[in-house]
Amino acid sequence: MKRKPLPTGKLDVQILRRLLQRYSRIDERVVLGPGIGEDAAAIDMGEKLFIVATDPITFATSEIGYYSVMVNANDIAATGADPRWFTVTILLPEAGGNEKLVNSIFRQIHQACEKLNISVIGGHTEITHGLDRPILVGQMMGEVQKEALITTAGAKPGDHILLSKGICIEGTSLIARERGGELLSQGISQALIERARGFLFDPGISVVEEARLAFQACRLHAMHDITEGGLADGLHELAMAAGVKIVVEKDRIPIYAESQILCEAMALDPMGVIASGALLVTASPPEADKILESARLQGISITRIGHIEEADAPLVTMVTSQGYQPVPYFERDEVVKIF
């Protein structure tokens, strides 16, 4: 019997859940293992926990080395740990896989690691048959005190939900870098496209700074950085990991003007566009206030967008001018449509 192929993007969450239940084998020293919404593992090393995460870069072509370091560092920072060590597998296409390209990727990795005080400790490079673009698979490691570990599953009813910066940061840069000519033909100015291209660096796809701020400001309950599927899928992953209901207010969700314009031009729903650069944080109302005040003093943009309630099953809903509406789960990131 012919089997239906799986769609591009993250593996269907129900398939992944079944596979994890069927095949997971956990050593007794694994404090945090594989789970929906958890992007890093934690291993007991005595006084501290060793934190490990891995993520591929498959959408980006330019600045792919920078992307790889930052998105993997984000997963480590969201546990309360400091990203410290990085390994990477670099797969290059036969066509165009030249020394200039390799040098560019290595330079990007070095600059990103230097920015965050991370050491590159190993990896693998090869020219790979069948590829039409470079693909990088990064592995980031860090450490944190045992009692300080933060997980996505830690979110609690009553918590307020905070979001750093705004949605679609990574997606905005990708759209501008990959579809600049098409955007120009639609009447979007070169100046706006250049600003959007620069979103990779400003406001930036790293959440390490805001994760450290939140971690140091109060006793928070959960952090989760947003990647494929945008804010919508990030909220669903948070709800599934913690088994809670999430209520967000549409008018409170920050989105940059450049992001709104580019998403409209490409007919993409910004709620489902890849969003590295934005961090979800949950904490009790008094502790959330401490984070917001600390962010104000340090000039870092963090917004209160909703709260968490008890639930019999995970649920994400949004308050709009028309009332409560369910937040969709995106099986494929919206930005896939431009490729």
- In the chain, the largest separation of any two C-alpha atoms, in whole Å, equals 62
- Contact (Cβ atoms closer than 8 angstroms) between residue 279 and residue 211: yes
Instruction: List, in sequence order, every beta strand (DSSP E) within 46-106.
Output: 48-57, 82-93
What is the domain class of 152-338 according to CATH?
alpha beta
- Contact (Cβ atoms closer than 8 angstroms) between residue 163 and residue 229: no
| pLDDT at site 2 | 54
| pLDDT at site 1 | 41
Region of 245 (left: φ > 0; alpha: ψ -120 to 50; beta: rest) is beta
- Contact (Cβ atoms closer than 8 angstroms) between residue 244 and residue 157: yes
- Tell me how far apart the alpha carbons of residues 316 and 229 are, in angstroms, rounded to a whole number: 14
pLDDT tens-place values along the chain, 339 residues long:
457 888 877 888 889 889 988 888 778 999 999 888 899 999 999 989 999 999 998 876 789 999 999 999 999 999 999 999 999 999 999 988 899 999 999 999 999 999 999 999 999 999 999 998 999 999 999 999 999 999 999 999 999 999 999 999 999 999 999 999 999 999 999 999 999 999 999 999 999 999 999 999 999 999 999 999 999 999 999 999 999 999 999 999 999 999 999 999 999 999 999 999 999 999 999 999 999 999 999 999 999 999 999 999 999 999 999 999 999 999 899 999 988
Structure tokens at 38: 């958890």
φ, ψ of residue 156 to 5 degrees: the values are -125, 150
| pLDDT at site 275 | 95
Cis amide leading into 203 (omega within 30)? yes
Going from N- to C-terminal start, the domains of the chain cover: 13-148, 152-338
Reported pTM:
0.92
Burial class (CB in 10 A: 0-12, 13-18, 19+), 335: buried
DSSP state letter for 328? P
Distance of CA 254 to the CA centre of its chain: 16
User: What's the Cα-to-Cα distance from 132 to each of 127, 295, 332, rounded to whole Å?
Assistant: 11, 42, 21
Structure tokens at 274: 């890849």
Structure tokens at 231: 């804010």
What CATH number labels 13-148? Answer: 3.30.1330.10
